[in-house]
Structure 1
Amino acid sequence: MTAMETNGVTKRTVLRRILSRGGPFSDEAYVPGPEVYDFLADLKVFGAGGLGCEILKNLALSGFTDIHVIDMDTIDISNLNRQFLFRQADVSKSKALCAAEFVMKRVKGVKITPYFGKIQDKDEEYYMQFGIVICGLDSVEARRWINATLVNMVNMNDPDSLKPLIDGGTEGFKGQSRVILPTITSCYECTLDMLGKQQTFPICTIANTPRLPEHCIEWASVLEWPKNFPEKKLDMDDPEHVQWLYDTALRRARQFNISGVTYSLTQGVAKNIIPAIASTNAVIAASCCNEALKIATTCNPYLSSYMMYSGNDSVYTYTFDPEKKEECPVCGNLATDYTTDVSWTVQDFMNALTESVQFRIKSPSLRTAEKIIYLQAPPQLEEATRPNLVKPLQDFVSEGEEVSITDPSLPFSVKLRIHY
């Protein structure tokens, strides 16, 4: 019997003991007994993202037997030092498929259904089948998408349409976890302005599945430069070096149909990669799976706050209650007041949006209730509305009027009430 199989037997025995009686923190509605364990085994759980190895292992050893997982990445050799479900022979294969196969071999009775692709590939009907959604995603855009999707799914007349979202993420020695009840608690979008401007990217993303122009630039500087010039240090003050990075990143972007790689962006992108620390991943994944167990069984109250973990100098955690925003574009019902300069053109307004940490919009299309200001697609409409970019914003939006902003990567629109 393998170590994981031994741990599985032991942990399931302990789990049955935990669920066979109540505790001082158990919910008033909690009824201990074998029915709780059976319900746990029948509950469908969905997981996605870079914490997948730890989360899959924990869920399988915690009594969940029907698990679905999505990941669009393939296994890179750099993953092998911390993502313990993979081996040398798995390099270049799908993470989701290999992880599911490994866990099912080691933990008997667990069924894991993998999907090699994006979470955006699936529709609301797909997500409606799950009781809990756990995300360990390394992309802000993906987090915003799944958060908005789960909020949009909620039907007040159907309690089963509310799917608890457990979100976890790590960056080096730091991490966070939280529980989001769509339409009830603060959602991911409500706390978006807590995030600093992203300047670093996971190495496995830039190597295998680039999605942003920054990914292409990091690929050129971190992976391609050492390969082509092993004895020459990259000097960002050397125009020839910057030009080489720009040309290389541009070719990479065209290969993956990514727009936005410019010479100035190449100069400005930071060269640091997010370090992936195995111990941090383990702590945050354990926190997420503990919340899943508590939600599924009501054996203890689930996390009602935002938990932040830091292991830089010592083990430190901090919690706070994030507030739900009435002007949140996902779960709120009010437009956000936004003050602009009277001299701004439409292009100036769009530049401010793309640079804003609050909105994190990359390719905005703009319209009011009566006018189309600028559309990114299709190409014919982009060409037709392009002349509006140099015109004053006041020509299209009056004082106090709302402008609706959409982005191809987001399943919702941002509404701003414009003031000059």
Structure 2
Amino acid sequence: MTTLVGLDLAGRAVLVAGGGPVAARRAATLLDGGAAVTVVAPQLCEDLVDRVLADEVVWHRRPVEQSDLDGVWFVHAATDDSAVNAEVCRWATDRRVWSVCASGASLGTARTPASTRHAGLTVAVTSVGDPDPARAARVRDQLAGTLTMGTLDLRHHRRGSGSRGRVILIGGGPGAADLMTVRARRALFEADVVVTDRLGPTSILDSLPGDVEVIDVGKAPGRHAATQHEINAILIDQSGRGRVVARLKGGDPFLFGRGGEEQQALAAHGIPVEVVPGVTSALSAPLAAGIPVTHRGTVASVHVTHGHRQLDQSALDVVVRRHATLVVLMGVGRLASHVDQLLAAGSDPLVPVAIVEDATLPTQRVTRAPLRQIVEAAAARGVKAPAVVVVGAVADPSLLAAAPVDAATLDAAAST
């Protein structure tokens, strides 16, 4: 019967007998665990040569000898000669030193499990009875997929005294939960506290363990649940209690997400911050509507701005001169003012415009019209935030034959 035990080899002497690719892989794993690795072999493969040149391992250029086991805690027998490997493992057994035999698992006193690391955990699989490394590897890979894509509780439930909290700034993507990145999803399930905006994949919050505290600081039109100063204070307070805090934002945290301000505030208090990039709605919302923000032969660049204030000169120029697509985030409230600006600056009244509401969600809706009529079309359809405005030739519904255009959109365009 095989008993699975985790060995702490950090700072301890370990011997790797052999200099080939298998020995190199075993040495790399041991080094990752902090072991002091000595390699004994007449020749080394390129990966091990690099380790030696970097002073990561000690190399004795000769065949392995019994005296090489003096003072070691663990042995990997990984030469290209199975008889030598067996003899090295016999030496180790006689000395009551744990050993792994690369050419036959039953010859050593330990086995190398198929393992995966995830959220500060190592999950290992090994066969019972006769060695079956291929089966162990397949099961390991399936477990890794469950850990990555599932909704397992990955929080630390036992922390050392004086453990410091930290904050993870998570870009949640445009709204659909399945457009979160793998890393974003994993980070969310490591958190003790989630500080969330109104936008982004808020539906996933229902999957969190019941004792995870969720703090809603989302801003809605006409309602501000918390000022940025208050949000910063919440992050500092919660992480200061030793908690892992997930700051869940829509889109990407650094694209008009004020994530940089939050990181600055946390850094000023010495709080560790991890940033998880997200899929920004500036690109994904047009894509979900069948609009390429760049298209060969049409436009080769894109200009992204926010719509809280008047458009600046650079935003006006890209439309007037038609050398880039203009994408306006959070621009529904000032749509009429922006259109007036563009027309006054000399924009073609017939330049196509598309407004994408609730991008990637079941409630997604697209409204299209020429610049001079987009305000009227938006009012007629009751367009509301959150929405992304796209201005430029790429918003023409005829550009891509497969562009998803609903009947109401076609009616708005046909009325011009």
TM > 0.5: no
Structure 2 length as normaliser, TM-score? 0.30
Larger radius of gyration: 2
Structure 1 length as normaliser, TM-score? 0.30
Higher strand share: 2
Higher helix share: 1
